[in-house]
Structure 1
Amino acid sequence: MRYTSLFPYAIVLCLLVLSCKEHERKNVLQHTKPNVLIINIDDMGWRDTSFTGSPFYETPNIDALSKKGMIFTNGYAAAANCAPSRASLMTGQWTQRHGILTVGNSERGESVDRKLIPIVNKTTLSNSFLLLPEVFKDNGYTTCHAGKWHISDDPRDKGFDINIGGSHAGHPNSYYPPYKNVDVKAVEGKRLTDVIMDSTISFVKNVQDPFFINYAPYAVHTPIQPVPTLVEKYRKKPVSPGQGNVDYATMIENLDQNIGRLLKVLKKSGKLKNTLIVFTSDNGGLFAISNQHPLRAGKGSYYEGGIRVPFFFVWEGKIKGNQKKDIPISNLDIYPTLLEITGITKPEAYTLDGHSLANMLLKNKELKEHPLFWHFPVYLQAVVAKNENRDSKFRTRPGSAVRYGKWKLHHYFEDDGIELYDLENDIGERNNLAKTQPEKVNYLLEMLNEWRKKTNAPIPYESNAEYREQLIHR
Structure 2
Amino acid sequence: MFATLVLLYMFTSCKTEKADLIKDTKPNIVLINVDDLGYKDLGFMGSAYYETPNLDELAQQGMVFYNSYAGAANCAPSRACLISGLNTPRHGVYTVSPSDRGHKKTRKLVPIENTNLLSNDVYTLPKMLKSAGYITANFGKWHVGEAPSKQGIDFNVGGSSRGNPGKGGYFSPYKIDHITNGPEGEYLTDRLTNEAISFVEKHKDTTFFLYLPYYTVHTPIMGKEQLIKKFKTKAGSNGQNRPDYAAMVASMDEDVGRLLASLKHNEVENNTIVIFTSDNGGIRDISEQNPLRAGKGSYYEGGIRVPLIIKWPGKVEPNSSSEELVSNLDIYPTLQHISNAEIQATLLDGIDLNPILEGKSIEERDLFFHFPIYLQNYSKSNDGGRDPLFRTRPGSVIISGNWKLHQYFEDQGLELYNLKSDIGEQHNLAKENPKKTEELLAKLKHWRNETNAPTPTKRNPDYNADFEQEKIKSVTLK
Alignment partner, residue 60 of structure 2: 67
Partner of 1:115: 108
**Matching residue of 1:127:** 120
Structure 1 residue aligned with 2:408? 412
**Could you tell me the TM-score, scaled by structure 2's length?**
0.91
1:49 equivalent among 34, 39, 42: 42
2:443 to 443, 447, 451: 447
Amino acid at match of 1:297: A
Q: Is the 8 A contact 2:128 2:344 kept in 1?
A: no
Supply the distance in 2 between the matched residues of 1:205 and 1:127 (Cα, whole angstroms). Answer: 30
What is aligned with 2:387? 391
Task: Summarize the alignment of residues 59-458 of structure 1 with structure 2, pairs less than 5 Å apart.
Answer: 59-173=52-166, 174-187=169-182, 188-207=184-203, 208-344=205-341, 346-347=343-344, 350-362=346-358, 364-383=359-378, 384-458=380-454
- Residues 335 and 354 in structure 1, CA contact (< 8 A), matched pair in contact too: yes
Output the CA distance in 2 between the equivalents of 1:31 and 1:220: 37
- Residue 36 of structure 2 contacts residue 217 of structure 2 at CA under 8 Å; is this kept in 1? yes
Find the aligned partners of 2:256 and 2:332 in 1 and give their Cα distance: 22
Q: 8 Å contact 1:143–1:212 — kept in the other structure?
A: yes
Q: Of the two, which has the highest radius of gyration?
A: 1
1:262-317 CA distance string (max 9 Å, x none): 00110011101100111110000011101100000000000000000001210112
Secondary structure of 1:67 counterpart: helix
Query: Is the Cα–Cα contact under 8 Å of residues 146 and 216 in structure 1 kept in the other structure?
Result: yes
> 1:38, 1:425 → 2: CA distance?
33
What is the CA–CA distance in structure 2 between the aligned matches of 1:226 and 1:125, rounded to whole Å?
Answer: 31
Correspondence for 1:462 among 449, 453, 458: 458
| Deviation, structure 1 residue 176 | 0.9
Which amino acid in the other structure matches residue 129 of structure 1? V
Instruction: Tell me the alpha carbon deviations over residues 358-384 of structure 1, each in whole angstroms, 9 at most, x when there is no partner.
Output: 01203x110111000000000000013
How far the C-alpha of 1:345 sits from its partner, in A, is 5.4
For residues 386 and 468 of structure 1, what CA distance do their matches in structure 2 show? Answer: 21
Letter paired with 1:245: R
Unaligned runs of 5+ in 2: 1-16
Identity of aligned residues (%): 49
Tell me the distance in 1 between the aligned counterparts of 2:465 and 2:310. 48
Partner Cα distance (2:121, 2:150) in 1: 12
SS at 1:133's partner residue? helix
Moved more, 237-246 or 464-473: 464-473
Amino acid in structure 2 at the alignment position of 1:253: A
Moved more, 82-91 or 233-242: 233-242
Specify the SS of the correspondent of 2:465: coil
User: In structure 1, what is the Cα distance between the partners aligned to 2:390 and 2:276?
Assistant: 29
2 CA distance for matches of 1:361 and 1:341? Answer: 12
Question: Is the CA contact (8 Å cut-off) linking 2:132 and 2:341 kept in structure 1?
Answer: yes
Equivalent-residue separation in structure 2 for 1:266 and 1:297 (angstroms)? 37
Q: How many angstroms does 1:29 deviate by? A: 8.6
What does the per-residue CA deviation read over 1:120-145, in whole Å, with 9 as the maximum and x for residues that have no partner?
A: 00112112311010011122111001
Q: SS of 1:276's equivalent?
A: strand
The count of corresponding residues between Structure 1 and Structure 2 is 448
Give the alignment's TM-score, normalised by structure 1: 0.92
8 Å contact 2:36–2:296 — kept in the other structure?
yes
The answer to whether the 8 A contact 2:322-2:356 is kept is: no
Determine if contact 1:76/1:329 at 8 Å carries over to the other structure: yes
Cα shift at 1:385 = 3.4
Cα deviation for residue 325 of structure 1 reads 1.0
Which shows bigger deviation, 200-209 or 453-462?
A: 200-209
Letter in 1 for 2:36: D
> Which has the larger displacement, 400-409 or 173-182?
173-182
